Amino acid sequence: MALVNENFLKLKQNYLFAEVAKRADAFKAAHPDKKVISLGIGDVTRPLPQACIEAMHKAVDDMSRPETFKGYGPYRGYDFLCDEIAKNDYKARGVDISTEEIFVSDGAKSDTGNIGDIFSKDNIVAITDPVYPVYMDTNIMEGREIKIIPCGEQSNFAPIPPDFHADLIYLCSPNNPTGSVIKKDLMKAWVDYAIKNEAIILFDAAYERFITEDDVPHSIFEIEGAKSCAIEFRSFSKTAGFTGTRCGYTVVPKGLMAKTADGQKTDLNAMWYRRQSTKYNGTSYIIQRGAAAVYTEEGQKQINESISYYLENARIIREGLSAAGIECSGGINAPYIWVKCPDGMTSWEMFDKLLNETAVVGTPGSGFGEMGEGYFRLTSFGSREDTIEAVERIKNNF
Amino acid sequence: MALVNENFLKLKQNYLFAEVAKRADAFKAAHPDKKVISLGIGDVTRPLPQACIEAMHKAVDDMSRPETFKGYGPYRGYDFLCDEIAKNDYKARGVDISTEEIFVSDGAKSDTGNIGDIFSKDNIVAITDPVYPVYMDTNIMEGREIKIIPCGEQSNFAPIPPDFHADLIYLCSPNNPTGSVIKKDLMKAWVDYAIKNEAIILFDAAYERFITEDDVPHSIFEIEGAKSCAIEFRSFSKTAGFTGTRCGYTVVPKGLMAKTADGQKTDLNAMWYRRQSTKYNGTSYIIQRGAAAVYTEEGQKQINESISYYLENARIIREGLSAAGIECSGGINAPYIWVKCPDGMTSWEMFDKLLNETAVVGTPGSGFGEMGEGYFRLTSFGSREDTIEAVERIKNNF
């Protein structure tokens, strides 16, 4: 009989969001009169920038005429998009990334998941706790040894390079779920660690656009030496509201090397190209046109408005909770606020108290790893009105 | 140092299309006066159906308003699309497939490539020769043992169940590159083989829409017992011109099982759901709306017009070549015509002769596997005018 990949059986069932939905639904059924507000969702709610809308209408029309119709596109993505990425996301920040180093995709989740294809099962993988579950689950699926980097209060929830050796390291800054960041000095320490350990950092910068502080790198490639030890993942999901539109990209520097068991150095850019050209057929032309419009003057103005809106929500939550004596962090360079559950409550106790006493839904931190126990994630992706009301309710009840 | 997946080093560089382009470009440079016609391309050229265009305009507008905006969609795809697939592609042909068995994606290439994630490296894989290279390359990447099923003239280039055992079998009907089909009786023999060998058939039906003959199943699930031994891949690429728009889907029947090394049966539908929800974040809402419009009355009319157009091109090529005494097959249920190189020419000799003497570009059959040597692929995706002219030129020169 055909054999399954047994590593799948080692995966934990991720009941987190299902359980959240179940308890919230039960509460709604019992209290049909109460307005439940969700600050649990990790998804955007504001519509796409008008510049993207217009560009996609035009692209749809291109597909309606033989002379402008587009069939299979370039595997790496269209130059009209890659050129804008190279110019705006990198050159503008003093980082030299060429279009041949950029691979457009349907999103950072696919890329952070699929990147494992080019690496051996024998690498030791380092993953933070708390963590975005994709890094953990994809490496369990592939049967790699995983070591944990605990991220707690002492380091403001940022990951500190460990004493142990790792070959592949997943870092996410600004961080989901904690909203913490890796500042410039710490990022430098990570690049040093990777070079010393001949490791590759898999750097997830999906929330880069929320950075407001100067000493937080937007790209790991702002750090000298990073092009010899890092791959970077970016997304239009949170930058421009593309969670349902689907576009992201991955930067694999030319000359970035890993090796075979007998020490032969192998070019990862060429390997990722081979992976993508074999198992992916490019991102929709229409969607790439939409993503390119993010870089127009109007596009930039419009996404900045949305990001500011979400960051203002984050400020309202953060300051409101602090005023109520509830300890929290994040929300300055990220859409996530990481709340310390008061009075020694567990994450789920906090969830139940919040739901039952204020009709506000959040996400228990323990769902993101053991280190998340005793914490709680709130997000700034709701409407202003709901955010203000939720914070008022919490203030009045805690 | 981080270790690479060394299986990548076993991949052959696929120089086929690069070499085709190189020789065609050299010819064009040497003969700027001659009009070169390509019948080599495996990509559609006719614009998207108007129904899809209108649906995508509407979907783009949905993304511009908060009340209709869509964030993350369902992992399996929206019901508005899955329901149409179940109804039109299956129920209408007497096949009972539920929406929970359908997984919408960005295309059949991704799915036929990624499906390997849920299977053990220890399966024996059977692949036809000639073959669409993705099946071969992805299994080389994953380090599986591959056995070849030669498909030659004796069987009209259709694959016959072999004497050897295999655990996973890739079948493609209508076939790329040969244009051959697996008729009902033969498909039944394959299902019997799979059941006897406790194997899984990975059935690629990307060209299903080109079928014109009654005894050719459109879906492997038309064969009794197939739901216990097959996964099916479908695509809107050739059906509706979506090669650059990107949408396809995969059907994994509920209750389809494979096993662990110690014999524990495991549900593949649940495993593929876990794979997709972990490493994929859904297909763009806009694109899914476009795909759903394929199933409207206008959509069906419009795609039928395009398919008829391509099939008429195929008829012109097939009959023209036959009239010139050149043996060929395919082109009746497929957009591909598989030409036997006359006078014992090799595939590349035929390529050069055709290019130099008629300024027509095709694809050497040897690029699809050893059994393709001595054959040549022509496609019907050109314009009517070019197709007629190319055939005239060939007739006058051979």
Question: Given the structure tokens 């995706």, which residue do they identify?
Answer: B381
Distance between CA atoms of A119 and A138, rounded to whole angstroms? 12
Q: Is B385 on the interface with A (CB under 8 A)?
A: no
Please check if B135 is assigned to a binding site.
Answer: no
Is B397 annotated to bind ligand? no
pLDDT score recorded for residue B68: 98
Give the number of other CB atoms < 10 A from CB of residue A356: 13
Contact A278 B6 (CB under 8 A): no
Measured between alpha carbons, how far is B11 from B7 in angstroms, rounded to an integer? Answer: 7
Distance (Å, whole) CA A365 – CA A374: 7
The answer to whether A323 faces chain B, any CB pair under 8 Å, is: no
Residue B372 confidence class, pLDDT cut points 50, 70, 90:
very high
Residues of chain B with C-beta less than 8 angstroms from the C-beta of A117 = 5, 141
The answer to whether A259 contacts B2, with C-beta atoms less than 8 Å apart, is: yes
B207 annotated as a binding-site residue: yes
| CATH number given to B11-46+300-397 | 3.90.1150.10
For the cut 80, the answer to whether the pLDDT of residue B375 exceeds it is yes
Give Cβ neighbours of residue A209 (< 8 Å, ≥ 6 apart): A238, A239, A303, A307
pLDDT at B367: 93
- For the record, the structure tokens of B33 come out as 């006066």
- Selection from B113, B136, B120 nearest residue B233 by Cα: B113
Average pLDDT over residues B359-365: 96
Q: Which residue of A has its CA nearest to B122?
A: A3
pLDDT (0 to 100) of residue B41: 78
- Chain A segment 255-274 residues within 8 A of B by beta carbon are 257-261, 266, 268, 271, 274
Cβ-Cβ contacts under 8 Å, A65 against chain B: 47
- Rounded CA Rg of chain B: 21
- At residue A16, the pLDDT reads 85
Backbone angles phi, psi at A37, to 5 degrees: -110, 130
Exposed, middle or buried, B154 (CB in 10 Å: 0-12/13-18/19+)? Answer: exposed
Q: In which element (H, E) is residue B239 found?
A: helix B237-240
> Contact A281/B106, CB-based, under 8 Å?
yes
* Tokens 């997943």, located at residue: A170
Mutate which: A7, A8, A238, vs B, most B CBs within 10 A: A8
Mean pLDDT of chain B: 96
**B141 CB within 8 Å of a chain A CB:** yes
Structure tokens at B237: 């690429």
How confident is residue B256, by pLDDT bands cut at 50, 70 and 90? Answer: very high
Domain boundaries defined on chain A: 14-43+300-397, 50-295
Integer angstrom CA distances of residue B22 from B17, B26, B27, B381: 8, 6, 9, 21
Contact: B5, A243; criterion CB under 8 Å? no
How many whole angstroms separate alpha carbon B82 and alpha carbon B256? 19
Smallest CA–CA distance from B68 into chain A, residue: A47
Q: Provide the CATH topology of domain A14-43+300-397.
A: Aspartate Aminotransferase, domain 1 (3.90.1150)
- The answer to whether B65 is annotated as binding is no
In the structure encoding, which two tokens stand for residue A327, read together?
A: 């300890």
Encode chain A in three state secondary structure. Answer: CCEECHHHHHCCCCCHHHHHHHHHHHHHHHCCCCCCEECCCCCCCCCCCHHHHHHHHHHHHHCCCCCCCCCCCCCCCCHHHHHHHHHHHHHHHCCCCCHHHEEEECCHHHHHHHHHHHECCCCEEEEEECCCHHHHHHHHHCCCEEEEEECCHHHCCCCCCCCCCCCEEEEECCCCCCCCCCCHHHHHHHHHHHHHHCCEEEEECCCHHHCCCCCCCCCHHHCCCHHHCEEEEEECHHHHCCCCCCCEEEECCCCCEEECCCCCEEEHHHHHHHHHHHHCCCCCHHHHHHHHHCCCHHHHHHHHHHHHHHHHHHHHHHHHHHHCCCCEEECCCCCEEEEECHHHCCHHHHHHHHHHHHCEECEEHHHHCHHHCCEEEEECCCCHHHHHHHHHHHHHHC
By residue count, chain B amounts to 398
Contact call for A106 and B106, based on CB within 8 A: yes
The pLDDT of residue B12? 84
Please state the rounded mean pLDDT for residues B19-34.
94
> Rounded to the nearest 10 degrees, how much is the dihedral formed by the CA atoms of A7, A9, A11, A14?
150
pLDDT score recorded for residue B323: 94
Classify domain A50-295 at the CATH class level: alpha beta
Nearest CB neighbour to A4, from listed B56, B70, B120: B120
Taking chain A (398 residues) in consecutive chunks of 10 residues, what is each chunk's mean pLDDT? Answer: 95 83 94 94 93 98 97 95 98 97 97 98 98 94 97 96 98 98 98 98 98 98 98 97 98 97 96 95 97 98 97 98 96 98 96 96 96 97 96 92
CA distance B101 to A171: 35
Contacts of B241 in chain A (CB under 8 A): 69, 71
Sequence-distant (≥ 6) Cβ neighbours of residue B56 within 8 angstroms: A60, A63, A286, B286, B287, B289, B290, B293
A250 phi/psi in degrees, rounded to 5: -125, 135
Asked if residue B14 has pLDDT above 80, the reply is no
DSSP three-state, residue B205: coil
Cβ contacts of B73 on chain A, cutoff 8 Å: 244
Whether domain B50-297 has CATH 3.30.1600.10: the reply is no
- The answer to whether A53 contacts chain B (CB < 8 Å) is yes
- Is the CB of residue A137 less than 8 Å away from at least one CB of chain B? yes
A118: closest chain B residue by CA: B5
A396 is in an annotated binding site: no
Contact B234, B209 (CB under 8 A): no
In chain B, residues with a C-beta closer than 8 Å to the C-beta of A261 are 3, 6
Dihedral (Cα; A167, A168, A174, A177), 10-degree rounding: -110
Residue B398: its pLDDT value, please? 82
Report which of A325, A397, A318 is spatially closest to residue A355, judged by C-alpha positions: A397
Asked if the Cβ–Cβ distance from B282 to A45 is below 8 Å, we say: no
Distance CA B40, CA B363 (A): 5
**What CA–CA distance (Å, rounded) separates B19 from A173?**
43
Phi/psi at B251 (nearest 5 deg)? -110, 115
3-state secondary structure of B201: strand
> Cβ(A295)–Cβ(B259) under 8 Å?
no
> What pLDDT, on a 0 to 100 scale, did the predictor assign at position A1?
85
- For tokens 């059986």, name the residue: A9
pLDDT at B15: 72
Side-by-side strand order, sheet with A230-235: A102-105, A248-251, A230-235, A200-204, A168-172, A124-129, A145-150
Q: Does B4 touch chain A (CB under 8 A)?
A: yes
Shortest Cα–Cα distance, A51 to chain B (Å): 10
